[in-house]
Amino acid sequence: MTNYIIGGILLAIILFLLTKYTIAKKALNNRNKELDSLKIETEEQLNQQQDYISLLSQELRTPLYGIMGLTNLIASEHPELENDRKLKSLKFSGDYLLTLINNILHVNYLDSEGITAKDTSFDLNEVTQNLVNSFSYATENSDNILHYEFDPEIDQMIEGDPAILCQILMNLLNNALRFTKNGNVYFSVNLIKSNEDSSTFSFKVNHDGYNMSKEDENSIYQEFIDVQKAKKSYLGVGLNSKILKRLADALKGEVIIQNSPNAGSEYAFVVDFKKLPNKDATKKVDTISSNETRLKALIVDDNKLNLLVADKMLSKENFDCSTIDNGFDAIELAKENHYDIILMDINMPKLNGIGTTKRIREFDPITPIIALTAVDVTQLNKQIIHAGLNDYILKPYNKNSLLEMINKHLDTSVRN
């Protein structure tokens, strides 16, 4: 009898436990479904946010391209204005705004996209000198002094991504100026070592500003700093270490930061760049200008200001330019005329640059077509290749980068 009682009790306990387990499992499954649903909803919201920031970045880049382009044109057409404070202010504002836009875009894709470097030849002294000139204007109304030193042993023409390099250096200089009051900021470019194919450079920024508190020092390494405190700083929110690391990784370089509460801080960016002999680089840039026959270019962009800037750039470089503000008319012009190069804006209403290029390729598979885009190209690579575009250049671009890309594709079309 006792065994039956014990067995009954055990059976009741087992049934009770099974019931509790079933209820708990059902509740857990429901909770998992809720979490899965919440995860999907969160991911959708994040994707929408990323798309919105990318769209906003594109909308900001488009007018910025016009501003920076016109500023450079005014400077080249009126050398007497080289030291004009208003022109310097405009150039600094454009360069600084571009860096902020790039920073925002890179924050947007920190966890989902890499930053891809694009190799082009550029004059290292010219790039760093322009950067110093811009910041020199910014320090005119303060008690800070910016010093610049360029190693004379450096071969000035190198190959790499000047846009990413400038973004890194602007972040470092911004941060040095932010933590400097009534002091000095020293910026130097030095050659560390050189071999047959490449050279190793050090871009060093140090300052003797006010003593940093531990809170200030830590803020350099945090992803974001106190917004209220940033409002009081000299040049914005300072250095974002995650962005800086991503940018440095894109160039396969390294940023080294050393802080001293009594002697300011030192930031060094060390990176390898490919060598590019001066004579070869000069030949690339001068190819168009030395051509006896004027070349024909079709520029397609729905922004009138952008058309003006591109037209002005190329007209001075042995090009006769046709400009049009929509894809449908661009197709007709490409049918009726022979062009040596076509520059194609990607984001246009009614028929965008991708669709326009596809239709042109139906009757013209040869003419080089270069995409002009303010959109982050990591989203467009497959579409660009599939449409038949030969290459792309990101707005805002400078004259030398555009001419070098055109030369490259003109040479290729001639060989083919």
| pLDDT attached to residue 286 | 53
More confident residue, 249 or 136: 249
Residue 234 and residue 178 in contact, taking contact as beta carbons nearer than 8 Å: yes
Does the residue 382 lie in any domain?
A: yes
Shared domain for 269 and 159, answered yes or no, is yes
Q: What is the rounded (10 degree) CA torsion for 121, 125, 130, 134?
A: 130
Domain boundary among 240, 260, 275: 275
Q: Tokens standing for 263?
A: 């002697």
Which residue is listed with tokens 């030398």?
400
Q: Is the pLDDT of residue 389 over 80?
A: yes
Sign, CA torsion 303/307/308/313: positive
Shared domain for 193 and 151, answered yes or no, is yes
Shared domain for 307 and 334, answered yes or no, is yes
Shared domain for 359 and 295, answered yes or no, is yes
The CATH number of residue 196's host domain is 3.30.565.10
Domain that holds residue 387: 278-415
Does the residue 389 lie in any domain?
A: yes
CB atoms under 10 Å from CB of 100, counted, come to: 15
More confident residue, 181 or 286: 181
Shared domain for 317 and 261, answered yes or no, is no
| pLDDT attached to residue 46 | 64
| pLDDT attached to residue 15 | 75
Domain count for the chain: 2
Tell me the mean pLDDT in the region 368-394. 77
d(C-alpha 51, C-alpha 57), whole Å: 10
Q: What is the pLDDT of residues 305-339, one digit of tens each?
A: 889 888 988 988 889 999 999 999 999 999 999 99
pTM: 0.59
Shared domain for 385 and 283, answered yes or no, is yes
Confidence bin at 283 (pLDDT 50/70/90): very low
| pLDDT attached to residue 49 | 67
d(C-alpha 287, C-alpha 183), whole Å: 46
| pLDDT attached to residue 85 | 72
Instruction: Identify whether 396 is preceded by a cis peptide bond (ω within 30 of 0).
Output: yes
Confidence bin at 141 (pLDDT 50/70/90): low
Confidence bin at 177 (pLDDT 50/70/90): confident
Confidence bin at 365 (pLDDT 50/70/90): very high
Does the residue 238 lie in any domain?
A: yes
Domain boundary among 240, 275, 310: 275
d(C-alpha 61, C-alpha 345), whole Å: 13
Does the residue 246 lie in any domain?
A: yes
Q: What is the pLDDT of residues 396-416, one digit of tens each?
A: 777 777 888 898 888 665 445
Q: Which of 13-17, 138-142, 229-233 has the highest average model confidence (pLDDT)?
A: 13-17
Residue 161 and residue 235 in contact, taking contact as beta carbons nearer than 8 Å: no
Shared domain for 232 and 291, answered yes or no, is no
For the chain, how big is the Rg over CA atoms in Å?
28
| pLDDT attached to residue 415 | 43
SS (H, E, C) the chain: CHHHHHHHHHHHHHHHHHHHHHHHHHHHHHHHHHHHHHHHHHHHHHHHHHHHHHHHHHHHHHHHHHHHHHHHHHHHHCHHHCCCHHHHHHHHHHHHHHHHHHHHHHHHCCCCCCCCCCCEEEEHHHHHHHHHHHHHHHCCCCCCEEEEEECCCCCCEEEECHHHHHHHHHHHHHHHHHCCCCCEEEEEEEEEEECCCEEEEEEEEEECCCCCCHHHHHHCCCCCCCHHHHCCCCCCCCCCHHHHHHHHHHCCCEEEEEEECCCEEEEEEEEEEEECCHHHHHHHHHHHHHCCCCEEEEEECCCHHHHHHHHHHHHCCCEEEEEECCHHHHHHHHHHCCCCEEEEECCCCCCCHHHHHHHHHCCCCCCCEEEEECCCHHHCHHHHHHHCCCEEEECCCCHHHHHHHHHHHHHHHHHC
| pLDDT attached to residue 229 | 45
More confident residue, 232 or 84: 84
Does the residue 139 lie in any domain?
A: yes
Shared domain for 159 and 245, answered yes or no, is yes
d(C-alpha 187, C-alpha 402), whole Å: 28
Mean pLDDT across the chain: 77
Domain boundary among 251, 275, 299: 275
Q: What is the pLDDT of residues 82-110, one digit of tens each?
A: 777 777 777 777 777 777 776 666 655 55
What burial class does residue 285 get, using C-beta atoms within 10 Å of its C-beta: 0-12 exposed, 13-18 middle, 19+ buried?
Answer: middle
Does the residue 81 lie in any domain?
A: no
Q: What is the pLDDT of residues 48-81, one digit of tens each?
A: 766 666 667 667 777 777 788 888 778 778 888 8
| pLDDT attached to residue 387 | 83
| pLDDT attached to residue 272 | 94
Shared domain for 335 and 206, answered yes or no, is no
Does the residue 354 lie in any domain?
A: yes
Residue 94 and residue 170 in contact, taking contact as beta carbons nearer than 8 Å: no
**Beta strands 319-324; 341-345: pairing state:** unpaired
Instruction: List Cβ neighbours of 75 (8 Å cut-off, separation of 6 or more).
Output: 81, 82, 87, 91
Please name every residue paired with 205 in a beta bridge, in sequence order, or none if there are none.
Answer: 187, 267
Does the residue 182 lie in any domain?
A: yes
Question: What phi, psi does 391 have (nearest 5°)?
Answer: -165, 180
Shared domain for 255 and 368, answered yes or no, is no
Shared domain for 209 and 317, answered yes or no, is no
Residue count (the chain): 416
Shared domain for 268 and 282, answered yes or no, is no
The CATH number of residue 317's host domain is 3.40.50.2300
